[in-house]
Structure 1
């Protein structure tokens, strides 16, 4: 089975384990099964609005066996990044939740909330209760080019139980528009948060599991780890097919339960005007901008061979690129 290839799991939360307060079907059971098999699990989250203990408590309530030591947050990563940017004990303006302020304090800095407090840096993280005045305070402070700006993450969206909602990236973009500045980014898609998680688990063959190409998969790839995209959150099989090289996952899964199934061996060959990929049940052929696929279209192998062939034919694209036509051949 697929999980035999790896010695740990670094799992995203939103869109992988749960959506809002509710567990995704089968996710807690899959994670517990992995741990029972001796494969440890750490949770790597870009959500900076909750403490790691609160995240762990939520997971336990959903039936996941874990604790705060197995949660790595972008708030922690942002606080650690500040250590390389400003002097110890410096004042840091918080544009985010109390959990972010607590991480900043634990890292040896003094959290403040107003420009008049003379901060040396601004750290911004997601807070569903953030107000316009909070964003304005950050923008006013960042008008000084010497003020360091660190963002916990730049996720544009976040999956909730009612659908897709604006994420921290939209709030960061609001401040960026007002200031003309670009922040340093601590969490995903940067690699540090993943290497931190792997070190906690003493892992050398970690598998990064996520639902977002631009954060989970890109970050895992940056960390030179195997990556798996589950189709239970933001990205779809169509967006995975169109992905740029940095955001192409090692594996494509319907859900966490497929960690315990055999993953198909896919053979790829470069053709004169495209590429071909095949497994035991499916075959895909790229000719120019056309993709022809044979096999059951309801099986995920349909998309796995499609991705393998399409990516082989388009190894260096800079923007998401899709076939002009996908033909299903019986």
Structure 2
């Protein structure tokens, strides 16, 4: 691993939004300064299909980032592109989601409908806080009648300042329960959005940044793109310790503020004076310098936990510093 700052060995940032850049459209502390100060082209990849790229760019400008619509890649865009593989221009498409999602489908040449009675070829399902029983039922009727089911994303939760809210994946699960049909998923963890964002940025060494292992990091791994996991959103330290290979990031940080840290420090490995030793199925965490931090302990443990296909044991503290670090992981 390089000892150079992480921001100096990549040429673009492929940034998740919810839980990484903002929470409920409130900037996560330090995120704006870190992105602006990195000197890197920033692309924003969001699984949230409730807003168009222009609206997302406007909201990002509102928190202090200079962002153009073409820097935003949404799962709605990916879903409409996927729909074009199953429906032709002029075909009826039922959209369960925000008005911007329906407008995007219409601009792509589809005839947007709201009733299963119009025999839609495809059902597009994206997040919309206003979605209710009627919309889900129309989707279920259309799918049972043979429509192709495409979800913009299947994130079960949505981060907010109040906690985790119901995400699109939870509403998709209701339709799947009613129909037995699992949708094609256009957004993360599929690779399409990462590839599209890197191409738009003209990047050859992009870095994906996210807070959720099963979407952000899994998508980066599937795209063969190095990734930075930040602990400002959904997936926490214990999720990382137990992560299988397909969900393991290249680097781990507390927040985007650490993007200027040496890449070697952000990668799993012994640091902060901590030691991690495999003891049967468990890991013994010992040592710890006076100024060591919980994330020093985490990266130390990850080096050992990730030697196999998935760690299922316990991390046992063997020093006072280790005990304090493990308590902080909660």
| Pairing 1:76-225 to 2, within 5 Å after superposition | 76-144=77-145, 146-225=146-225
From the superposition, tell whether residues 84 and 286 of structure 1 become closer, same or farther in structure 2 (CA, over 3 Å). Answer: same
Separation of aligned partners in 2, 1:28 and 1:325 = 35
Q: Counterpart in 1 of 2:325? A: none
Q: Is the 8 A contact 1:208 1:228 kept in 2?
A: yes
Q: Is the 8 A contact 1:157 1:167 kept in 2?
A: yes
Separation of aligned partners in 1, 2:97 and 2:254 = 33
Separation of aligned partners in 1, 2:68 and 2:218 = 26
Q: Is the 8 A contact 1:176 1:182 kept in 2?
A: yes
Aligned residues: 313
**Alpha-carbon shift at residue 326 of structure 1 (Å):** 2.0
Tell me the C-alpha RMSD between the 2 structures: 1.7
**Alpha-carbon shift at residue 102 of structure 1 (Å):** 1.4
From the superposition, tell whether residues 186 and 286 of structure 1 become closer, same or farther in structure 2 (CA, over 3 Å). Answer: same
Separation of aligned partners in 1, 2:238 and 2:144 = 41
Separation of aligned partners in 1, 2:264 and 2:283 = 20
Mapped pair 1:236 → 2:229: no
Mapped pair 1:74 → 2:92: no
| Among candidates 5, 13, 24, match of residue 9 of structure 2 | 5
1:89 match: secondary structure: coil
1:42 match: secondary structure: strand
**Alpha-carbon shift at residue 299 of structure 1 (Å):** 3.8
1:15 match: secondary structure: coil
Separation of aligned partners in 1, 2:277 and 2:263 = 20
Separation of aligned partners in 2, 1:267 and 1:90 = 49
Separation of aligned partners in 2, 1:79 and 1:44 = 15
Q: Counterpart in 2 of 1:19? A: 23
**Alpha-carbon shift at residue 301 of structure 1 (Å):** 1.8
Q: Counterpart in 2 of 1:51? A: 52
Separation of aligned partners in 1, 2:95 and 2:318 = 53
Q: Counterpart in 2 of 1:31? A: 35
Mapped pair 1:327 → 2:317: yes
Mapped pair 1:289 → 2:289: no
Separation of aligned partners in 2, 1:92 and 1:229 = 36
Separation of aligned partners in 1, 2:255 and 2:216 = 15
Separation of aligned partners in 1, 2:49 and 2:28 = 21
From the superposition, tell whether residues 62 and 176 of structure 1 become closer, same or farther in structure 2 (CA, over 3 Å). Answer: same
**Alpha-carbon shift at residue 266 of structure 1 (Å):** 8.8
Q: Is the 8 A contact 1:266 1:278 kept in 2?
A: no
Separation of aligned partners in 2, 1:142 and 1:181 = 8
Q: Is the 8 A contact 1:154 1:185 kept in 2?
A: yes
Relative to the length of structure 1, the TM-score reads 0.91
Q: Is the 8 A contact 1:21 1:161 kept in 2?
A: no
After the TM superposition, which of the residue ranges 70-79 and 281-290 deviates more from structure 2?
281-290
**Alpha-carbon shift at residue 328 of structure 1 (Å):** 3.7
Q: Counterpart in 2 of 1:273? A: none
Separation of aligned partners in 1, 2:282 and 2:186 = 39
**Alpha-carbon shift at residue 3 of structure 1 (Å):** 1.2
